[in-house]
Amino acid sequence: MARYVINGGKPLNGTVTISGAKNAAVAILPATLLVSGKCRIENVPYISDIDAMGNILYEMGAKITCPERNVLEIDCTGVQCTEPNPDLVRKMRASYYLMGALLGRFGKAKVALPGGCSFASRPIDQHIKGFLLLGADVDDTDEFVALEPGPEGLQGNRISLDMASVGATINIMLAACLIPGQTIIENAAKEPHIVDLANFLNTMGARITGAGTDTVKIRGVNALHGGTYTIIPDQIEAGTYMAAVTAAGGNVLVQNVIPKHMECITSKLQEMGARVINYDDSIRVIRTGKLRRSTVKTRPYPGFPTDMQAQVCVCMALANGVSRLTESVYETRFFGYCAELESMGANIKISGKTATVTGVEKLRGATVCAHDLRAGAALVIAGLAAEGVTHVEHIHFVERGYESLVRKLTALGADIRRIED
């Protein structure tokens, strides 16, 4: 077990470089199963979820090398396996993308149900609905999902999602690339990593249009070929550093970002008193004065991301007045961190989908426990802003999604150490 020890109360100053997007990378790695030839993928974040996905592919027979930091070369041409190791699959959420990728490549798959952050019930009925409409026979148990071609084989189809699910949109895109005919996903999710996956697949020869809108069209092709692709910067990692400066104070240039992806986060942090200056591929965040109350409701992209709920809650905890934070994607997400923030002196009342946060003058250091990735990131921010020493336990959750967090924060002047117990 490892933990972070943070001696808080110091403003953050300097420059931080954002890594490649986790949620794009965890979709692009399994997408290489669809490709005949070598994929060179650049700007891959160096995080434990990528290790986990890399291990799954490697065990399945993929050739994987890391010629330099943040670059992976993956060749899945020789892969024959359609049943990835269930113990590895259960280690992460995004392993469910193996279902779509294997269905697309081999027409069949048997994949254990995924693990990962369990801050809410996370059903996959929309993924299954998509596979069924593409002509698969689905055997869906409590342990695994088994897919086979149905009596009429696999064929493109029109699939209207009941909700704009990121995972279902990606899984159907993966499954449909090599299936004959046209697949149309209606009510598709529009998150930046969906566009990034489509760009990766199109670079390798797929025919996908409309990614980033609510209608994605995939025209099946016979094969995908190798190539080189660079993953976009991580919207949530960038937002987390922006929230950290907003909470702890200081002046930080957040570089390697796409400011357009940050608009909703930027506008809320500005409303709360941060000064935000956009450049072409970087954003400066300055916070010197007192924070102001705000109202935030999480929504699918381009709305305020649920993956930034916990981080903005820390800013609210330190703002003047009463803020309201409403979660509309995962209702139970507050339970992963609000009690921990309260042990640091925050005043938060949860009623259904809404947290009412009454700002306090100061948070104080405490021993707190990360229950999931973003909750853990929020506790780190709280520790940076708090007076005294904070111990954040269970940091393996945080290391799933934040590359070199200690090194990056230390370079900004934070006093944070990673201790192995």
* CA distances (Å), origin 34, targets 27, 62, 104, 311: 12, 12, 7, 36
- Binding segment for ligand EPU (CB under 6 A), chosen from 51-59, 141-149, 162-170, 241-249, is 162-170
> What's the closest the beta carbon of residue 123 comes to ligand EPU, in angstroms?
4
Write the single-letter amino acid at 379. L
Please confirm, yes or no, whether 117 is among the known catalytic residues: yes
How open is the CA angle 245-24-54, to the nearest 5 degrees?
110
- E strands along 76-171, which residues? 109-112, 136-140, 144-149, 158-160
How many H-runs (helices) and E-runs (strands) does the chain carry?
14, 23
Query: What contacts 167, CB < 8 A, 6 or more positions away?
Result: 94, 96, 97, 124, 126, 127
Tokens (6 digits) for 169: 């949109």
Measured between alpha carbons, how far is 114 from 90 in angstroms, rounded to an integer? Answer: 5
Residue of 120, 365, 412 whose CA lies nearest to 240? 412
Q: What pairing do the DSSP bridges indicate for beta strands 182-186 and 158-160?
A: parallel
Options 59, 87, 125, 263; binder of ligand EPU; rule CB under 6 A? 125
Options 19, 126, 157, 246; binder of ligand EPU; rule CB under 6 A? 126
Residue of 240, 215, 312 whose CA lies nearest to 272? 312
Does residue 151 bind ligand EPU (CB under 6 A)?
A: no
For ligand EPU, the closer of residues 21 and 253 by Cβ is 21
For ligand EPU, the closer of residues 147 and 291 by Cβ is 147
Options 127, 217, 268, 284; binder of ligand EPU; rule CB under 6 A? 127
Binding mask of the shown chain, residues 177 to 196, with x at each position contacting ligand EPU by CB under 6 A: ------------x-------
Options 16, 20, 33, 93; binder of ligand EPU; rule CB under 6 A? 93
Does residue 122 bind ligand EPU (CB under 6 A)?
A: yes
- E strands along 187-270, which residues? 207-209, 215-219, 224-230, 250-255
Measured between alpha carbons, how far is 1 from 117 in angstroms, rounded to an integer? Answer: 17
For ligand EPU, the closer of residues 165 and 266 by Cβ is 165
Measured between alpha carbons, how far is 233 from 256 in angstroms, rounded to an integer? Answer: 6
Measured between alpha carbons, how far is 378 from 355 in angstroms, rounded to an integer? Answer: 15
Binding mask of the shown chain, residues 381 to 420, with x at each position contacting ligand EPU by CB under 6 A: --------------------x-------------------
Measured between alpha carbons, how far is 107 from 226 in angstroms, rounded to an integer? Answer: 21
- E strands along 187-300, which residues? 207-209, 215-219, 224-230, 250-255, 275-278, 282-287, 295-297
Do 3 and 395 touch, CB atoms closer than 8 A?
Answer: yes
- Binding segment for ligand EPU (CB under 6 A), chosen from 160-168, 172-180, 280-288, 406-414, is 160-168
Binding mask of the shown chain, residues 335 to 374, with x at each position contacting ligand EPU by CB under 6 A: --------------------------------------xx
For ligand EPU, the closer of residues 218 and 253 by Cβ is 218
Measured between alpha carbons, how far is 194 from 153 in angstroms, rounded to an integer? Answer: 27
- Binding segment for ligand EPU (CB under 6 A), chosen from 33-41, 54-62, 158-166, 272-280, is 158-166
For ligand EPU, the closer of residues 105 and 193 by Cβ is 193
Catalytic residue among 76, 117, 177, 313: 117
Does residue 91 bind ligand EPU (CB under 6 A)?
A: no
Binding mask of the shown chain, residues 300 to 329, with x at each position contacting ligand EPU by CB under 6 A: ------xx---------------------x
> What's the closest the beta carbon of residue 286 comes to ligand EPU, in angstroms?
27
For ligand EPU, the closer of residues 57 and 319 by Cβ is 57
> What's the closest the beta carbon of residue 358 comes to ligand EPU, in angstroms?
26
Hey, which residues between 250 and 279 contact ligand EPU (CB under 6 A)?
none
Q: Which helix (H) or strand (E) holds 377?
A: helix 373-385
Do 252 and 215 touch, CB atoms closer than 8 A?
Answer: no
For ligand EPU, the closer of residues 12 and 168 by Cβ is 168
Options 33, 76, 94, 380; binder of ligand EPU; rule CB under 6 A? 94
Residue written as token pair 């499954």: 175
Residues that bind ligand EPU (CB under 6 A): 23, 26, 93-94, 117, 122-127, 163, 165-168, 189, 306-307, 329-330, 373-374, 401
Q: Which residues are catalytic?
A: 117
